[in-house]
Structure 1
Amino acid sequence: MAYIPTASSPMKGGVGQYSYAQNSSAQLLFFRQAVEAAKVLIKEAIAEKLDIKQVISSSKLFTVADLGYSVGINTIIAVENIIESMNLKHQSFGPNQEAPEFQVFFNDHVSNDFNTLFKSLPTDKQYFAAGVPGLFQGRLFPKASLHFVHSSYALHWLSKVPKELIDKNSPAWNKGRIHYTNSLKEVRDTYSAQFKEGIESFLNARAQELVSGGLMTLIMPCLPDGISYLHLKIFWKLASTKWLMR
């Protein structure tokens, strides 16, 4: 199924005064903690569930895709965690085994600032790097071409604003707000339907792109069953206020 966006809204690129890189210290710290916490799970998954002999072909190439990385440096840490875990797995087969090469694909919106990330890549990196522009809700790679897919704090963002939310004649009109707190049930249902469409398309695309036996790590915020979304009310009101002030 093709997935066609209505707009692209990447983080502000560059390293200037108003760039994401200069105004994201809190986010970077929060995301860094999530990436480090996931490191243990990734190491265990690769050690216990990844069959190297099954997934890696005679080319000895292991491909990794990080989806929705924006311009932050946390993606580099996440990729290095995956490669470190892969090397440990490979070493478990003995010292005479030929190590695989690593190809890493960094993905985000077409208008994302790829150059800022490329400039921050370590000079001694153990992988080949490439940028892949496009929405991850749709296909980005050839069939059965990826061994490991990683995405951190990106999948919860909607790819587009549902048209019902901005139509004043619609029961789901959201009165110009960017969140659904204190909104009608129709508004919440519309957001939910859009997310369901996006996540289904994402999983269908990855199912085609991953090799048989490949792995995927997804990190995203969520609410446990029984917890009301209303506790996010203050945060989103502040966020929307800042957005409008800009």
Structure 2
Amino acid sequence: MGSLNGFAMAGGDGDQSYTKNSLYQRAIIDAGKSLVQKSISDYLDPKKFPPSETFRIADLGCSVGPNTFVSIDNILDVVKFKYLNINVNEIPEFQVFFNDHTFNDFNTLFKSLPPNREYYATGVPGSFYSRLFPRASLHIVHSSYSLQWLSQVPREITDPNSRAWNKGRIHYADAGEEVINAYSRQHAVDFSKFLNARAQEIVPGGLIMLILPARPNGVPHSQDPFAKNNVRLGACLMDLARKGLIDEEKVDSFNMPCYMASPHEFEQVIKQNGRFSIERMEGLPRAKASHIPNSPEDMTRGIRAVKEELIRQHFGDEILDEVFALYQEKLSMEVDLNPGTELNLFMLLQLKQDN
């Protein structure tokens, strides 16, 4: 696995789809609602924008819904209030861009668009690590639970001649420093590309709001609960290799293209980029327990909806049911399913006026 052509969450609206198995991501969006709305209320100034100009919002990594629609409604409610509060004669029209990889199930997304929406909807396929929109065309960029995904697996971890070769593992959490550093460097490169692209696309005074899983400053990667999910999945694949159901070399060449950065790592890249000011960076309040899947079966369905396509691309369809049955079995044997020191991070960035 080198450069990725992209992958998508499980499409459709069936029992194993992301649509039906993204309750945790929805719970995080709900936990961040007040911060999203307070950020718009405090930092968005409609007076800086031409009157009656179309107000444009992009949701990057939208997947198939319904979570993306909830995020957009949370944003629009406050933006409309801001315009009414400055006594403008006319609230602008709103255009919302739903972005994800070309493999995303845009058909399901479009079929489930809210019928009474107060915006014009547009699908934008492509990687958010490159330019997607015309210069100075966006007022708000939002992304939830997407930026932990890298543009590619670090090349050196799949090279048997490299000190960072990640043999027998599919992630960095249970690996050595060379592997961790390779992932960290890839994250820094990708996040910098993301910022460079958005700096060209956002209007002066425009906002970026990001919600994503992160690793608390100072917490070892091995203790990060998000990363532990990948360690568990790697153990399942190695079990299948020992049974002779897949080639062990096939496992050696498979690595998850995701990285849980710390707030400090994000700050370093943002400051080095220099195009945005950090207006807010803080952990979200803990999601309500009633909104989080807490049984091994429900948790496994959630993981499968996110990671099934990556496994299918590398190993084929044949092992999918067995690998996730093993995953559920391992979860069932764990005494405590409490995630522990998990951090869901909210970031508010504003394009500096001199850009």
Question: Fold match, TM over 0.5?
Answer: yes
Residue 130 in structure 1 maps to residue 122 in structure 2: yes
Deviation at 1:18, TM superposition (A): 4.0
> Hey, what does 1:194 align to over in structure 2?
186
How far apart, in 1, do the equivalents of 2:86 and 2:51 lie? 17
How far apart, in 1, do the equivalents of 2:48 and 2:80 lie? 16
How far apart, in 2, do the equivalents of 1:68 and 1:115 lie? 15
Alignment counterpart, residue 66 of structure 1, candidates 56, 59, 74: 59
Q: String of CA shifts for 1:160-187, please: whole Å, max 9, x gaps.
A: 1122111111111112532112212111
Residue 213 in structure 1 maps to residue 211 in structure 2: no
Paired residues of 1:42 and 1:85 also in contact (CA < 8 A): no
Deviation at 1:7, TM superposition (A): 2.5
The alignment's C-alpha RMSD in Å is: 1.9
Residue 45 in structure 1 maps to residue 39 in structure 2: yes
How far apart, in 2, do the equivalents of 1:215 and 1:48 lie? 11
Deviation at 1:6, TM superposition (A): 3.5
Deviation at 1:126, TM superposition (A): 0.3
1:221 aligns to what SS in structure 2? strand
> Hey, what does 2:30 align to over in structure 1?
36
Q: Structure 2 stretches of 5 or more lacking a match? A: 238-310, 321-355
How far apart, in 1, do the equivalents of 2:206 and 2:175 lie? 41
Deviation at 1:191, TM superposition (A): 0.6
Residue 77 in structure 1 maps to residue 70 in structure 2: yes
Deviation at 1:234, TM superposition (A): 4.1
Q: For residue 130 of structure 1, what is the amino acid of its counterpart? A: T
Paired residues of 1:90 and 1:97 also in contact (CA < 8 A): no
Q: String of CA shifts for 1:129-148, please: whole Å, max 9, x gaps.
A: 01001000111001100000
Q: Structure 1 stretches of 5 or more lacking a match? A: none
Q: For residue 121 of structure 1, what is the amino acid of its counterpart? A: L
1:236 aligns to what SS in structure 2? helix
Choose 78-87 or 166-175, whichever is displaced more: 166-175
Paired residues of 1:150 and 1:216 also in contact (CA < 8 A): yes
How far apart, in 2, do the equivalents of 1:5 and 1:146 lie? 28
Assess, with a 3 A threshold, how the Cα gap between structure 1 residues 17 and 29 changes in structure 2: closer, same or farther: closer
> Hey, what does 1:106 align to over in structure 2?
98
Deviation at 1:42, TM superposition (A): 2.2
How far apart, in 2, do the equivalents of 1:156 and 1:234 lie? 14
Assess, with a 3 A threshold, how the Cα gap between structure 1 residues 16 and 215 changes in structure 2: closer, same or farther: same
> Hey, what does 2:172 align to over in structure 1?
180
Choose 31-40 or 67-76, whichever is displaced more: 31-40
Residue 139 in structure 1 maps to residue 93 in structure 2: no
How far apart, in 1, do the equivalents of 2:179 and 2:218 lie? 20
